[in-house]
Amino acid sequence: MNNSYFIRTFGCQMNDHDSETMAGLLENMGYCEADKPEGADVIIINTCSVRENAHNSFFGVLGQYKKLKEKNKALVIGVAGCMMQQDILVKQVKTKYPFVDFIFGTYNIHELPDLVQESKLLKKTNVRVLPERESIQEGLPVKRKYPFRALVDITYGCNNFCSYCIVPYTRGREVSRGPEDILSEVRNAVKSGTKEVMLLGQNVNSYEYGFSKLLGNLSQVEGLKRIRFMTSHPKDMTEDLIKAFSKYHNLSKHLHLPLQSGSDNVLSRMNRGYTKGKYLQLIKDIRREVPDIGIRTDIITGFPGESEEDFQETLNFVEEVQFDSAFTFIYSKREGTPAAACEDQVEESVKHERFQRLVKVVNESALSKNLSYIGKVEEVIIEGVSRKSNEYLEGRTDSFKLVNFKGPMEALGETVLVKITEANTFSLKGTLDL
């Protein structure tokens, strides 16, 4: 039997995609994917620094893998990702978890094969962490998690320095991939069965060579059914991009547009570069152009100095905008960011209580948006068997809503028409419309 690998991924789509590259590199070395860490020969943990809970779960997982290593001395364990761009955490892993064979940073992914080879010879933790990106590595192998959906990086890093966020420190300054490299990756993915691309970047609409132009070029790739992107930043939304939704037939009617807060005071201290008035105007412009677009957002509760009035403004704003869905976060102090040094940190219990109130309002609008789909016939790309019940398949509408329905298992990756019959807060149910 072949040697096997297991990758545990925390964090965002960037990390999901980096893990796909790590999987590709390991498969090229002859390893095959294991479905659980127990029994694997190589285990990689791809970490995230963005919030406290990902940080804590990482140390929990490391503790579990330590036991696996005690049972199997030949097991190779590597740690990668954003946490490893922070010196203090590299030191902590080296001293407290010396069974880790190697550590590599977000700019060193291509060195994984060397690190695996060298781990067989070295006795101490091998560390390869560049402090800054030196170049963009093109042409690395990728093993896609979903064959019909390709995650494709278009920018790396971030220049925005939102005052709460660690990403600019773990992913470095923003750089853009060349349009030809992106196009050829997408063309190749489509040749091997991709129906949908998800363009990735911390702020895709600041893509150096023109984001709307890139969308225009990608929309012409034959056989590409859907194009999505995340994340776009409200301060860089252009009229061109809004128009692109009606101009390009395969640009999905779905937009992830993080709000973060509905208070101008908080937005300014977050260094977001827009006001709630500007954000609302954008929403109106987008909905005028594409009335049935699905809009998703990110919101943080309990940013330093957020008063009850500030929070109330966020609640009212969320109610006014009626998002299709939202990722809601409790503010988490990240060492090294400006907001972590603020003295007016909000008490833990207050942050949590606001979070609960926010979730309630967000869920109400999500349910009401979903209810409006009942009776409609939607194009759905089949993504697999439902995670909740194996009697059902699941897939997504063009507006990124999850739909469960009964249908043929062999049709994975195919587009079908589904008539929506039921709606919940987080998903829709329907029947095939034949």
Binding site residues, ligand SF4, CB under 6 A:
158, 160-162, 165, 167-168, 202-203, 233
Exposed/middle/buried for residue 171 (C-beta within 10 Å: 0-12, 13-18, 19+): buried
Least distance (Å) from ligand SF4 to the CB of residue 165? 3
Q: Which stretch binds ligand SAH (CB under 6 A): 83-91, 186-194, 244-252, 326-334?
A: 326-334
User: Would you state the structure tokens that stand for residue 422, as one six-digit string?
Assistant: 């039921």
Neighbours of 387 (CB within 10 A): 10
Question: Is residue 262 near ligand SAH by the rule CB under 6 A?
Answer: no
Exactly one of 6, 104, 164, 211 binds ligand SAH (CB under 6 A); which one?
164
- In the region spanning residues 283 to 342, those forming contacts with ligand F3S, defined by CB under 6 A, are none
Q: Using alpha carbons, select from 301, 264, 300 the residue that is nearest to residue 279.
A: 264
Least distance (Å) from ligand F3S to the CB of residue 341? 19
**Partner that binds at residue 161, options ligand SF4, ligand SAH, ligand F3S, none, CB closer than 5 to 8 Å by kind:** ligand SF4
Question: Which run of H or of E encompasses 116?
Answer: helix 112-119
CB 232 within 8 A of CB 257: yes
Least distance (Å) from ligand SAH to the CB of residue 198? 14
Q: Which stretch binds ligand F3S (CB under 6 A): 31-39, 46-54, 374-382, 414-422?
A: 46-54
Least distance (Å) from ligand F3S to the CB of residue 4? 25
Spell out the residues 6+ positions from residue 322 whose beta carbon is closer than 8 angstroms to its own. 365, 368, 369
Spell out the residues 6+ positions from residue 300 whose beta carbon is closer than 8 angstroms to its own. 164, 260, 261, 270, 328, 329, 330, 331
Exactly one of 15, 119, 202, 365 binds ligand SAH (CB under 6 A); which one?
202
Q: Using alpha carbons, select from 166, 170, 169, 159 the residue that is nearest to residue 333.
A: 166
Q: Using alpha carbons, select from 88, 205, 218 the residue that is nearest to residue 158.
A: 205
Question: Is residue 332 near ligand SAH by the rule CB under 6 A?
Answer: yes
Least distance (Å) from ligand F3S to the CB of residue 142? 17
Q: Which stretch binds ligand SAH (CB under 6 A): 161-169, 189-197, 390-398, 423-431?
A: 161-169
What is the dihedral angle through the alpha carbons of 383, 388, 389, 392, rounded to the nearest 10 degrees?
A: -30
CB 193 within 8 A of CB 220: no
User: Would you state the structure tokens that stand for residue 376, as one six-digit string?
Assistant: 């409609």
Spell out the residues 6+ positions from residue 395 whose beta carbon is closer than 8 angstroms to its own. 380, 381, 382, 383, 402, 403, 405, 416, 418
Question: Is residue 260 near ligand SAH by the rule CB under 6 A?
Answer: yes
Question: Is residue 93 near ligand SAH by the rule CB under 6 A?
Answer: no
Rounded Cα distance between 272 and 160, Å, is: 8
Q: Using alpha carbons, select from 60, 59, 64, 22 the residue that is nearest to residue 42.
A: 22
Question: Is residue 230 near ligand F3S by the rule CB under 6 A?
Answer: no
Question: Is residue 331 near ligand SAH by the rule CB under 6 A?
Answer: yes
Question: Is residue 262 near ligand F3S by the rule CB under 6 A?
Answer: no
**Partner that binds at residue 86, options ligand SAH, ligand F3S, ligand SF4, none, CB closer than 5 to 8 Å by kind:** none
Nearer to ligand F3S, 157 or 430 (CB): 157
Residues in contact with ligand SAH by the rule CB under 6 A? 50-51, 164-165, 167, 202-203, 231, 233, 258, 260, 298, 300, 329, 331-332, 334
Residues in contact with ligand F3S by the rule CB under 6 A? 11-12, 14-15, 48-50, 82, 166-167, 170-171
